Copies of this chain bind each other. A is one copy, B any other.
Amino acid sequence: MIKYNKRKILNDPVYGFITVPYESVFDVIEHPFFQRLRRIKQLGLTHLVYPGALHTRFHHTLGAVHLMGIAVKELKDKGYEITEDEAEGVTLAILMHDIGHGPFSHALEHSIVSGVNHEDLSTLFMERLNQEFNGKLSTAIAIFNDEYPKRFLHQLVSSQLDLDRLDYLRRDSFFTGVSEGIVGSDRIIKMLHVVNDELAVESKGIYSIEKFIVARRIMYWQVYLHKTVLSAEYLLIYILKRAKELSKEGVSLFATPAFRTFLDRTVTLQDFENEPQLLNQFAELDDFDVLTSVKVWKNHSDVVLSKLSGFMIDRKLLKIKMYSEPVSVSKLDDLRTELAKQWNITKEESAYFVFTDSIANSAYNLKHDRINILFKNGEVKDITEAADTLSLSVLSKPVEKHFLCFPASLTNQL
């Protein structure tokens, strides 16, 4: 009798079922470096606005693996050559593409680690895993780093239409309940081709691509850059900033050992390379360390830290207002002065509650991104030239928005 537990199947509310396709994929999933992604939410603090958005990087990554399986089958069925080794490699590559993410990446990169982004850390993790797995991940790493001869494999992992995006847009849309962001990932995958070693979408898929770009834009403004989400994220940035400063000054702070390491010192990429143990410490860090600490800090004696932490835990977020122009220095100064008076704190302290920044987004970046459209006559054009009706070039203009965060008690000053 055939052993029927060989292939692991997972339930997924988005796709129904996800099958783990290779033993090597299973082994990476089992590794503590990967299991930690179970404790890192894909969308950080977004659940404070969309209560369903609690899905993790672990779940997203498995979804991307699932879509990769469909894409590889589709391309092979169409006659494009993908060897068994390449199929496994590109699957492992998408599996590990987010492995370097820490908790609340955006906030952390602004405050805790310095000059180290999650792509750098992904590379470090992959190399470490490759050692443990005796080079089994080499093809995957080559594909991930765009050093593999067949470039289109890299594009499946990282490009305008990669499976990462196709999964996260759909998944984020699903769990937030923002149905406008739903992307026809199935249809797009069905229309993929390879021309000149690059991915291309056949011309009748042009409306799906347009829709994809518009959906992505909607997700940006409605979810990823939702103003209340921004407010929550910046609150966390300022909490961590304060905690780090206090920590430097020698003030005692509740923290897990791993979190303490990154509060006490500012770790650089070079540090990670010189001290292998640091990566293990980083691997112990997740949403739980950060949130638990913030919860305890709510009762800290430092008034700035305790106030900010309480705001986070009890969801009394700072108000936020969007502007098309930068907020003037003098306005900011006035508001801080006013708050210092109201709350009887110093003006330096008030800067933790009244601050400004800006965000930018373009749905489609004409310079860096390309989406190839394949016409029936074999011709290939970029989508912005191919779409005869909706001027996608409009979508490629970056939009910058400025915002100001402040406590409710200042509302009348604005």
Q: What mask results when residues 222 to 252 of chain A are scored 1 for a CB within 8 Å of chain B, else 0?
A: 1000000000000000000000000000000
Q: Given A32-B313, A78-B2, are A214 and B221 neighbors across the interface (CB < 8 Å)?
A: no
The quantity of this chain's copies bound in the complex is 4
Choice from B14, B184, B324 contacting A179 with Cβ under 8 Å? B184
Choice from B52, B208, B217, B378 contacting A12 with Cβ under 8 Å? B52
Rounded to whole Å, the gap between the CB of A225 and the closest CB of chain B is 11
Knowing that A2-B79, A11-B52, A288-B295 are A-B contacts, what are 4 other residue pairs whose CB atoms are under 8 Å apart, sorted by A's residue number? A17-B186, A38-B47, A179-B182, A180-B187
Q: Given A186-B17, A292-B289, are A193 and B51 neighbors across the interface (CB < 8 Å)?
A: no
Choice from B54, B56, B193, B399 contacting A55 with Cβ under 8 Å? B54
A404 lies within 8 A of chain B by Cβ: no
Measured CA separation A221–B324 after assembly (Å): 35
A296 lies within 8 A of chain B by Cβ: yes
A176 lies within 8 A of chain B by Cβ: yes
Chain B residues with CB below 8 A from A313, complex form:
32, 35
Q: What mask results when residues 153 to 197 of chain A are scored 1 for a CB within 8 Å of chain B, else 0?
A: 000000000000000000000111111101010110010010100
A402 lies within 8 A of chain B by Cβ: no
Question: Which residues of A from 277 to 305 have beta carbons under 8 Å from B?
Answer: 284, 286, 288-289, 291-292, 295-296, 299
CB–CB A51/B12 < 8 A: yes
Q: Interface with B: A143-151, A264-272, A388-396, which one?
A: A388-396
| Residue among A13, A14, A16, A208 with the highest chain B CB neighbour number at 10 A | A13
Rounded to whole Å, the gap between the CB of A55 and the closest CB of chain B is 7
Q: Given A190-B17, A394-B394, are A314 and B180 neighbors across the interface (CB < 8 Å)?
A: no
Number of A residues contacting the other chain (C-beta, 8 Å)? 83
A7 lies within 8 A of chain B by Cβ: yes
Measured CA separation A256–B298 after assembly (Å): 12
CB–CB A52/B13 < 8 A: yes
Q: What mask results when residues 1 to 36 of chain A are scored 1 for a CB within 8 Å of chain B, else 0?
A: 110100101111110110000000000001010010
A136 lies within 8 A of chain B by Cβ: no
Measured CA separation A177–B190 after assembly (Å): 15
Chain B residues with CB below 8 A from A54, complex form:
54-56
A340 lies within 8 A of chain B by Cβ: no
A202 lies within 8 A of chain B by Cβ: yes
Chain B residues with CB below 8 A from A295, complex form:
256, 284, 286, 288-289
Chain B residues with CB below 8 A from A62, complex form:
51
Measured CA separation A301–B374 after assembly (Å): 46
A50 lies within 8 A of chain B by Cβ: yes
Rounded to whole Å, the gap between the CB of A23 and the closest CB of chain B is 14
Measured CA separation A295–B283 after assembly (Å): 11
Rounded to whole Å, the gap between the CB of A378 and the closest CB of chain B is 5
Measured CA separation A298–B202 after assembly (Å): 37
Measured CA separation A271–B257 after assembly (Å): 33
